[in-house]
Amino acid sequence: MGSAEFLPFTRPSIDETTIADVVAVLRSGWLTSGPRVQALEAALSTYCGGRPVRVFSSGSSTLEIALRLAGVGPGDEVITTPLTWVATTNVILEVGATPVLVDIDPATRNIDLDRIEAAITSSTKSIIPVDLAGLPVDRDRLYAIAGRHKLRVIEDAAQSFGSRWRGKPIGSFGDFVSFSFHANKNITTGEGGALVLPADVDPALCERMRLQGFQRFSDGGMDVDVLGGKFNLTDIAAAIGLGQLKRLAEFIERRRHLARLYFSTLDPLLDLGLPLADFENSNWHMFQVTLPKEVNRGNFIAAMKGRGIGIGVHYPALHLFTLYRKLGFKEGDFPHAERVGRETITLPLFPGMADTDVARVCLAITEVIKQK
């Protein structure tokens, strides 16, 4: 990649074999859910240790269906983090439940497990932990808390496909596990997601809820026995996913290499808040730093763009959005999440980057901050 070319904060890597398979799907005449979807689900199930996996049109829809399969609805409370993409809490509202937010651990930027039990009430039905930037929440402590209080866990692993916990792939154990395959994720289907199901959930029920509650019988009869949505994945998307899945290990190895370069190249005198350097568990979905308080983030992003470098923001503390202020949340409720939400930036990190791109980003950061 030449130095003059704009460097986005992420870009998917789609190889020619995958492009050819998408073309084959287009020529086949079978574009919606079909044999490629079945093949992707089988491959994902193998990756997840044989657990049932069903693919969806988005990661958000997997969370919604997981909540419905877990029996979460009006009158129930669901505990989660304020530092996540707003879909995590929107789906709680969608099923009529109440989001209960718990502040983050400043070191991991994930939900503070020490604060969860104080937030549990008689109405609490579930916990949705979020693996921010691909760093897994401590699964041992999480499931110990859930077990003590008989709560369902719906892992928002949208960003942690390919991450591990104590050597085991995220998704190969636990309760419900939701993945996203959005275009900015470590592997993509363009848009899409997958839901790993626990043993007490009938995959056929999940399939019906994914597609209007509909079932078809061999005699031509039909029935709808449960409320469902329109959340099925297309074979076009599944073909992309199959090609991506084959390269997962390659992608993560490259991401880890680039993350190590950031740690070794960023100027330690700039007072940047660095992420936790976990090279055992994280898939390094994103490399996020926090800016010094005296640096205006908007000005910084504009200055980096002027140098041909894209910077992301993931995420503002969601309880300060208008919708959630209307629910009674206010500034000061979750000070750690609010600080990180104000100061965080996401640096370019994707497999197609060259080592020299990291050097270019780090040099630009130094120049912009010192010219503040």
pLDDT in tens, the chain (372 residues): 444 699 999 999 999 999 999 999 999 999 999 999 999 999 999 999 999 999 999 999 999 999 999 999 999 999 999 999 999 999 999 999 999 999 999 999 999 999 999 999 999 999 999 999 999 999 999 999 999 999 999 999 999 999 999 999 999 999 999 999 999 999 999 999 999 999 999 999 999 999 999 999 999 999 999 999 999 999 999 999 999 999 999 999 999 999 999 999 999 999 999 999 999 999 999 999 999 999 999 999 999 999 999 999 999 999 999 999 999 999 999 999 999 999 999 999 999 999 999 999 999 999 999 986
pLDDT at residue 321 in the model: 98
Domain count, the chain: 2
344 shares a domain with 277? yes
Of 150, 168, 185, 330, which residue is the catalytic one?
Answer: 185
* CATH number of residue 296's parent domain: 3.90.1150.10
298 shares a domain with 177? no
β-bridge pairing 53-56 and 193-196: antiparallel
Torsion-angle region of residue 312: left (phi > 0), alpha (psi -120 to 50) or beta? beta
pLDDT at residue 1 in the model: 40
Q: Are 136 and 170 in contact (CB under 8 A)?
A: yes
DSSP letter at 333? S
Rounded Cα distance between 164 and 47, Å, is: 12
AA letter at 22: V
Residue 204 lies in a domain: yes
- What sign results for the dihedral spanned by CA atoms 320, 326, 332, 334? negative
* CATH number of residue 238's parent domain: 3.40.640.10
Range of the domain at 223: 16-245
Task: Pick the last residue of a domain from 195, 220, 245.
Answer: 245
Rounded Cα distance between 253 and 239, Å, is: 23
Task: Pick the last residue of a domain from 245, 267, 299.
Answer: 245
Which runs of consecutive H residues, i.e. helices, occur in 135-284? Answer: 139-149, 203-210, 235-245, 248-265
pLDDT at residue 2 in the model: 43
Active site residue 125: no
Could you count the other beta carbons within 10 Å of the beta carbon of residue 328?
8
Rounded Cα distance between 22 and 80, Å, is: 37
Residue 6 lies in a domain: no
Residue 80 lies in a domain: yes
pLDDT at residue 4 in the model: 64
Task: Pick the last residue of a domain from 188, 213, 245.
Answer: 245
pLDDT at residue 29 in the model: 93
Contacts with 180 (C-beta within 8 Å, 6 or more apart), sequence order: 58, 59, 60, 62, 158, 159, 161, 192, 193
291 shares a domain with 229? no
253 shares a domain with 167? no
187 shares a domain with 257? no
AA letter at 69: L
Rounded Cα distance between 107 and 276, Å, is: 7
pLDDT at residue 185 in the model: 98
Residue 117 lies in a domain: yes
The reply to whether the predicted model has a pTM over 0.85 is: yes
Rounded Cα distance between 225 and 223, Å, is: 6
74 shares a domain with 190? yes
